[in-house]
Amino acid sequence: MKFLKYLFIIFFIMNLNNFKAESVDLSNKITKNLRCLICQGQSVYESDSDFANSLKIVVSNKIIEGLNEKEIYEFLREKYGDWILYDPELNKNTYLLWLLPVLLFLIGGAIIFKRFKITNK
């Protein structure tokens, strides 16, 4: 089969270039999920403002101190509020945010199966 051959070529190229995957740096992961509060729509990771640079240092310090990801988010949330977190946690303010899309998906499915008879005959 031809397509298999192409596939192998692609796969081969991928190995050649030795994309060595480094373990994902926890600090980068965390700062990507933080909003740079003094910037316009950038994450701390992306920004080079003074605030973001300091926050990067704080995050890596906290990791060294032994705090885990959740504790760091909690620490920053206490200081700056929910606004700083890009990944809103599930609470009474965000139930609708997280559940509404899924609910709409289910409603959509229900409408489709009610209105159209999908048969196997």
Partner 1 sequence: MLSSSIGYYGLILGLICSLLLTFFNLQNFRAQKILNTRILSLTFLQFLFVKISFVSLIISFVLSDFSNETVFNNSHSTKPIFYKIAGVWGNHEGSLLLWLLVLTLFTLIFLLKTKNQPLQYRILTITFQQIIIIGFFVFVIKTSNPFNYIFPIPDEGLGLNPILQDPLLAIHPPVLYLGYVGSSIIFSSALAATTLGLISKSWAIHIKKWVLASWIFLTIGILLGSIWAYYELGWGGFWFWDPVENVSLMPWLVLTTLLHCILVLQKRLILTSWVIILSISTFTLSMCGTFLVRSGILNSIHTFANDPERGLFILIFLFILIFFSIIIFFFFNKRNENNNVNFFWLSKETAILINNWFMMYFLSVVLIGTVYPIFLDVLTTNKISVGPPFYHKLIIPFLIPFLIMMGIGSRLKWIKSNLEDKAQLILALIISILIAILIVKNLDVKFLINITLISSAFYLFLITSRDFFIKKEKNNSQKIAHFGFSLLILSILVNNLFSTEIITNLKVGQQFENSNSKILFKNIIQKDEKNYKSIIGNFIIENNNGKIEEFFPELRIYNQPKIVTSEADIKTTFTTDRFMTINVVQNQEYFNIRYQSKPFMIWIWLSVILISCGGILSFLNKEYEK
Partner 2 sequence: MKNKIFLFVSIFIFIIIFSVFYKGLNKINIYSPKVELNKKIPQYSSKLINSDKLVNYSEIFNYDHFILLNIWSSWCVPCREEHELLMNLSQQRNIRLIGLNYKDNVISAQKFLDELGNPFETILVDIEGVQAIEWGAFGVPESFLIFKSKVVKKYVGPLNENLINEIKLIIK
For residues 33 and 86, is the Cβ–Cβ distance under 8 A? yes
For residues 59 and 29, is the Cβ–Cβ distance under 8 A? no
- CA-wise closest residue to 35 among 96, 92, 77, 65: 77
Identity of the amino acid at 11 = F
Return the residues of window 18-47 that contact partner 2 according to CB under 8 A: 37-38
101: which 2 tokens? 């899309």
Q: With binding defined as CB under 8 A, does residue 108 bind partner 2?
A: no
Q: With binding defined as CB under 8 A, does residue 79 bind partner 2?
A: yes
Pick one of 9, 46, 48, 61: the residue that binds partner 2 (CB under 8 A).
61
Return the residues of window 17-76 that contact partner 1 according to CB under 8 A: 17-24, 28, 32-33, 35, 39-43, 45-46, 48, 50, 53
Shortest Cβ distance from residue 39 to partner 2 (Å)?
11
Shortest Cβ distance from residue 49 to partner 2 (Å)?
8
Q: Is 103 exposed, middle or buried (0-12, 13-18, 19+ CB in 10 A)?
A: exposed
For residues 85 and 73, is the Cβ–Cβ distance under 8 A? yes
Length, in residues, of the chain:
121
Of 41 and 66, which has the nearer Cβ to partner 1?
A: 41
Q: Interface with partner 1 by CB under 8 A: which residues?
A: 1-4, 6-7, 11, 13-14, 17-24, 28, 32-33, 35, 39-43, 45-46, 48, 50, 53, 81-88, 93-94, 96-98, 100-102, 104-105, 108-109, 112, 115-121
